[in-house]
Structure 1
Amino acid sequence: MTYLLALIAIVAVAVLCWKAFGPEKPHPSSTRRPVLGPDDDPEFLWRLGKQHRDDSGDL
């Protein structure tokens, strides 16, 4: 019985050490760009305006 309790304590300490000093996961908010709709994306609007100017100049 003492060996079982010692084993549980060792496993618990190992898990706590892994959580404290193990490899860190990147935060999802820092690695990904927020999702924007096309009407909120400045690059999309710029390309759309450029395309519109190019199309209207061909008349």
Structure 2
Amino acid sequence: MVRSALFYERFGWHTRTEYESFVHHYEFGLMNRPGYPVLADVRELMMTLWFGQQ
């Protein structure tokens, strides 16, 4: 879930329509949750560290 929101919000890898379809399908929008910014930051850091190792 965090990845889909992150890919939409920060990277633009998903369109708004794709993200809204995802939220509608799973009936859960993570970006409205208070802890989302921290989860997104951690996920982005993990991605960066992984890329750095490659």
Q: TM-score, structure 2 length as denominator? A: 0.37
**Which of structures 1 and 2 has the bigger CA Rg?**
1
Instruction: Determine which structure has greater relative contact order: mean sequence separation of CA pairs < 8 Å that are 6+ residues apart, divided by chain length.
Output: 2
- In terms of fraction of residues, the more helix-rich structure is 2
